[in-house]
Amino acid sequence: MRKPIIAGNWKMNKTPEEAVELVNELKPLVADAACDVVVCVPAVCFAAVKPLISKRGCKIKLGAQNVHWADKGAYTGELSADMLKAAGVEYVIIGHSERRQYFGETDKTVNKRTVAAINAGLKPIVCVGENKEEREQGYTDTIVSYQTLMALTGLTNEQVEGTVIAYEPVWAIGTGLTATDEQANETIGVIRQAIAGKYGKRTAAKVRIQYGGSMKPSNVKGLMAQPEIDGGLIGGASLKAVDFSQVVNY
């Protein structure tokens, strides 16, 4: 059985002081969580959040929202995997659709970031997904399969098993739209089949694949009841402790 993982993507929200307030409110609400719980916070919040979640018994793990592929160098504004590790980060989101849309992220750079994260001992949450036009034209399966296999290029079976994939239909992010339970399950099944085709069924069966398109308290039960869905990458609902905890405790 794959252990579910619910990760909050705070995006460009919360100062360190606001982060402390949110995490302190969240901690008791997810104290009995049966899934892995991650908060992917802005880098300026690492130092504020890490001490709060390092205490024994806390279920929350620290995540980052991006990582560079180089160990060091002239990459102004970037953070290396070793820097994230030193800050106490355990998970890192890679290839989010907003990174692809606004900052020139490509399938090639997603792969480079993924390899760098794994080599440093971080756990990648790799995002894949189609836009509205691509879905309407029937390219969803091709696109998510290609993006997934490109991201995993060069990894061993064991490394693939430790990678989290987040299926985020671009047309359902921040729009209020959500794929139906069946649509999400079907596409995540396609992703798993693509992994199985290259790495074998045993490896594919161990990979956790999240749904990342506007999962929230009102739809989490239906989505999480689907056999292929192993959790969620949560945007807006992760910024409110009560809402996020209701997703975690679905």
Nearest to 73 by CA among 136, 133, 116, 110: 116
Mark whether 168 is an active-site residue: yes
Distance, in Å, from the CA atom of 238 to the CA atom of 10, rounded to the nearest integer, reads 7
Tokens of 227: 């056999």
Distance, in Å, from the CA atom of 23 to the CA atom of 33, rounded to the nearest integer, reads 15
Distance, in Å, from the CA atom of 12 to the CA atom of 117, rounded to the nearest integer, reads 21
Question: What are φ and ψ of residue 56, in 5° steps?
Answer: -55, 135
| Catalytic option among 98, 130, 168, 228 | 168
Q: What single-letter amino acid sits at 39? A: V
Quickly tell me which residue has 């756990």 as its tokens: 123
89, 65 Cβ separation under 8 angstroms? no
116, 68 Cβ separation under 8 angstroms? yes
Mark whether 68 is an active-site residue: no
| Catalytic option among 96, 98, 130, 228 | 96
Q: What single-letter amino acid sits at 80? A: S
Distance, in Å, from the CA atom of 24 to the CA atom of 12, rounded to the nearest integer, reads 19
Tokens of 118: 């794994």
DSSP state of 3: P
- Cite the active site residues: 96, 168
